[in-house]
Amino acid sequence: MPAYVIAMMSIHDAKMYSNYTALTPTLVSKYGGKFLTRGEQVTTIEGTPYEDRMVILEFPDKKSVENWFSDPEYKEAMKFRHASSTMHMLLLQEGGENTLNPNPKL
């Protein structure tokens, strides 16, 4: 089952951050991942407006995400991200199988 990565970042050095974004597509693809959204505008429909960057990735499974995240080349790319932004990165593991009529008590 697919696994999803949701990354929400606040960028304080766009030029430095562009070094990171130049490297990530190849590394994501290496592990079977794809970008579902990559920095497109986010519309807040409830709550405090979200004005930062958001990226959503889909991978074949949780193990692929773990392999991508621990890849030495990705760790090098992360140095640019760490130097230029703050981030929350979430992994949504394989979802439940009953998505048509989910249990209302969960």
Helix, strand, coil abundance in the chain, percent, nearest 5: 35, 25, 35
pLDDT at 44: 96
Q: How many CB atoms lie within 10 A of CB 8?
A: 16
How far apart CA 66 and CA 41 sit, in angstroms, is 27
Segment 58-70 mean pLDDT: 96
What pLDDT shows up at residue 104? Answer: 72
Q: 18-48: per-residue pLDDT in tens?
A: 999 999 999 999 999 999 999 999 999 999 9
Looking at domain 3-92, its CATH class is alpha beta
What is the average per-residue pLDDT within 2-11? Answer: 96
The whole-model pTM stands at 0.86
Average pLDDT, the chain: 93
Question: Which of 86, 46, 84, 61 is closest to 5 using CA atoms?
Answer: 61
